[in-house]
Structure 1
C-alpha cells in the first residue's frame, strides 16, 4: 500500500479539471454487455475501479481498450463465466453486473461484491427487483446465483431508493420488449446518465431523475457512445479542501446543479461559490462556520459520500455540528484518526458531535475506505506540520491524479510507494 505525506497549512489557489464520474461510468460498462457491438465511453477516469471492471469484462471474454480518457468495449465475443471473488473483492460496483449478465446469458453466479467496508449494504433490493422480472435466485455463504428461462417486463416497487438496484432494474428493463414501471427509484444524476445511455441503445425512458421511471424496452439493444459528466463527489472533495484550508479554486466543467445536496452545506459554512464561464469558482478566506445539524440521505439530500470530508471541515470550523449518518452504519472510521489529529469529536450511534478547534496537528493515520482517505487528506491539508496517511491506495479507487492536482493548487503533498 502507498502512503501520502502532507505538510499542511497552505491555502489553495488555481484551477482543476474534474474528471468523469466513476459512478456513472461503471454501470454503463456493465450495460455494454447487453449489446453485441462496441461501446465507447469518453471522459472515462483512469482509476482502480474502472480498471477492475475492465478486468471482469475481460474475464467474460470482452475486449477493452483504454487510452487517454476513452474506453472502448467490444462485447461481440462475450461468453458466460462465473464471476469469482478475486474479480469482485475490490469492486462494490460489480453488483451492477447481475442484471446485464442475467439478461445476456440467462444466468449469473457472482461472488459477493467487495470495495469499501462502510456498512452491510445488503443486496436484497437488487434480488427483489430482478425476481420481479422472472429470475429465480439463491444465496450461499460466498455466492449469489440467479437464473431465468426468460425475463419479462414488470412493475417494481423498491423498499428503498437504492442506486445499484435501480440501475440493475433499468438495465434489465431496457432489454425486455414491453413496458416496465419502477417505483421509489433512485434519483441521482448517475441514474439520469444511465437512462440517457440506455435510450441511445434503443430503449424509451420517461421519468429519469424522479421516483417513478417508465422503461419501454427494445429487446435487442444497439451499441452507443457515452460521455461521462464530471464527478460530483470529486468536485465536492476539492470544495472540502478549499473550505478547510482557505483559498480560491476554479472547478472546470462543474455547475451548481451538479453539486445539489451539498452545495448549500458549503455556502452555509461560509464558502463563496459562483459561476465564471465554464468553471465554478469556490472561495474561502475565513474559518468555516459549522451548521447546527446535517443528515445524510438519498438524493437530493446530503450525500453519504460527502459525509467524511465535511466532518474534516467541521473539525476546524467555528462552533458545533451534529452529523447524522442515515445510509451506512460504519461510516465513521475516520473519527479516531481525526481525534488523533486534535479534533474534538464525540461519536454516539449513528451521529457525531463535532466541536470545532482552531487547528489540527499533523499525525500518522491510516486510510480505511475511499472517502475516509479523502477526508484524511482534507484534514492533513488543513493541519499544521506533517501528516502521513498510510494504506492510502483506497484513494486510487475513485480519484485520478488527486495528489498531483492538489500540488498544482499549492499544497505540499506527495505520494510515496511503501
Structure 2
C-alpha cells in the first residue's frame, strides 16, 4: 500500500536540525569501492532508501555489504562480476556509477540502463564517449550499456557539459588507467570533491578537484580506506527554504555553508537573516518573503535539486519571480502540482513566471521525484488547511527522517 503525508498548513518552523551525509555522494562512494579488494568503511551515511538499493547492486556483483545506521562496511572480493543486475539497477539513477569502476577493475561492464526520478532525459552519451577515449568500446545492447577494454590508457577528454555522472565514471575508470588523463569541463560539485578525496585516500593520484580541470595519473592498484561522507547540501538547502517560507528560525548543522553560497544569498535577497558558521548556518525570516529570480546551473550555480524549493518560496512571495531551469527539462512537472495548490504560475519553455499569493490552498498533490516531493511538503506547510502528498516513497529515497525532523521543528505532518 502506498504511503502519503498529511501536512497541516500554518505552522512555523523553529529549532535545530542536523544534516547527514549526501545522497549524491554516498552512492558513488559505495560504487567506487569496486576498484579495490578488501574492506572499506563509510561513515556519516544517510539512512535513505537508495543506500540499501546500492547495497543490492554491489551484492549482486559479489560484494558483502553491511549497513549499521550511518556506517556502511563494504568488502569487495578479489574477483568482481562485471554484470550489474537489471532488477537492482533499474530502480535508481545512481546505479550507473558502477560503470567506470567495473570497466577499470574487470576490463568489462554490463550495466542495465538505470531508472530513477522523472525529471527529463539523462542519456549516457558522455559516459560512453569518455570511456571510449580511455580505450574502451561501448554500446547499448538489450537495455544495458556494455563496455569492454583490454587496457585503459589515459587521454585528454573534454565534456560538452559538466555532467556529474559522466565526470564520476570517467574519474573512476581513469584512476586505474595507464598514464595521465586530463578531464576538462569537469563537474565541480562538492560531491565530486568528496569522491576524489576518498579515491586519493585509497592511493589514487587526482588533482584539481573542485575546479573544471581534473588531472588523474593512473596507478596500478588501490587499497581500502575509511571515509566520512560530505554533508548533504540539498537537504540543508531544503531546511533553509522551509525556514524562510514558514517565517521561521532554523539552525542547520553538519554542512559547509560555502556549498550553498548562492542558495543562501538568494534567501538574503528575499529578506531572510542568514548567519553562517564553520559547520552550519541559521535562517530567520520575519514577514512575507520578497520575490527573487532564480536560474539553475551546475555548481557553483543554483542547484537544480533546489528548484522546487525556489518555486515554493516564489509562489508565496511578494511580487513576481522568474525561475529558469537550465539542467533538467522535465523538472517543471512540479508546477502542475503547485497549480493545484493555488499558485499563480505560467510555464513558458524553460521559464516559469510566478506571481506570489499570500497563502496557498490545500488539496491532494502527487510527488514525481525526490525534490518535487519535498517541495510539495514545504508548500503544504504554508497552505490553509491539510494538504495530502501522495507517492512519498520518492522523498524517502533522499531525506532521512523527513517527517520526524520537520515535526521536531514544529511542523504537523502525519505519515499514513
Q: Deviations over 1:76-117 (max 9, x none)?
A: 255315223311122101111110011111111111111101
Aligned ranges for residues 173-252 of structure 1 at < 5 Å? 173-252=174-253
Asked if 1 retains the 8 angstrom alpha-carbon contact of 2:323 and 2:352, the reply is yes
Greater shift, 69-78 or 56-65, is seen at 69-78
Please say if residues 21 and 232 of structure 1, whose CA atoms lie closer than 8 Å, have aligned partners that are also in contact: yes
Aligned to 2:165: 164
Aligned-partner Cα distance in 2 for 1:314–1:347 = 14
1:122 maps to which residue?
123
Residue 294 of structure 1 aligns with which residue? 294
Which structure 2 segments of 5+ residues have no match?
none
Alignment match, 1:90: 91
| Alpha-carbon contact 1:62-1:77 (below 8 Å) kept | no
Task: Give, in whole Å, the separation in 2 of the partners of 1:278 and 1:294.
Answer: 25
Once the two structures are superposed, residues 140-173 of structure 1 have per-residue CA deviations (whole angstroms, 9 ceiling, x without a partner) of 3511111111111111111111001111111111
Map 1:265-284 to 2 at 5 A: 265-275=266-276, 278-284=279-285
Contact 2:20 2:254 (C-alpha < 8 Å) held by counterparts: no
Check 1:2–1:226 CA distance in 2 against 1; reply closer, same or farther (3 A cut).
Answer: same
Deviation, structure 1 residue 269: 1.1
Gap regions ≥5 residues in structure 1? none
Native 8 Å contact 2:61 2:81 kept in 1: yes
State how far apart, in whole Å, the 2-side matches of 1:212 and 1:93 are: 23
- Give SS of 1:331's match: helix
Closer, same or farther in 2 for the Cα pair 1:376/1:196, shift >3 Å? Answer: same
Deviations 1:5-45 (A, max 9, x none): 11111101111111110111111111100000111100001
Distance in 1 separating the partners of 2:7 and 2:120: 29
Bigger mean CA deviation after superposition, 171-180 or 396-405: 171-180
For normalisation by structure 1, the TM-score amounts to 0.97
Deviation of 1:61 (Å): 1.2
Structure-2 separation of matches of 1:221 and 1:179: 16
Secondary structure, in 3 states, of the residue corresponding to 1:249? strand
Answer yes or no: is 1:359 the counterpart of 2:359.
yes
Contact 2:257 2:279 in 1 (8 A): no
Moved more, 390-399 or 278-287: 278-287
Aligned to 1:386: 386
Structure 2: distance between partners of 1:34 and 1:74:
11
Query: Equivalences for 1:393-412 in 2 at 5 Å?
Result: 393-412=393-412
SS at match of 1:260: helix
Instruction: Please state how far the C-alpha of 1:278 moved relative to its aligned partner.
Output: 4.5
Contact 1:306 1:371 (8 Å CA) reproduced: yes
Structure 2 partner of 1:326: 326
Q: The residue matched to 1:139 in structure 2 has which SS?
A: strand
Q: Partners of 1:61 and 1:244 in 2: how far apart?
A: 46
| Contact kept in structure 2, 1:261 and 1:299, CA below 8 Å | no
The alignment of Structure 1 onto Structure 2 pairs a total of residues equal to: 415
Cα separation, 2, equivalents of 1:255 and 1:137: 38
| 2:304 corresponds to | 304
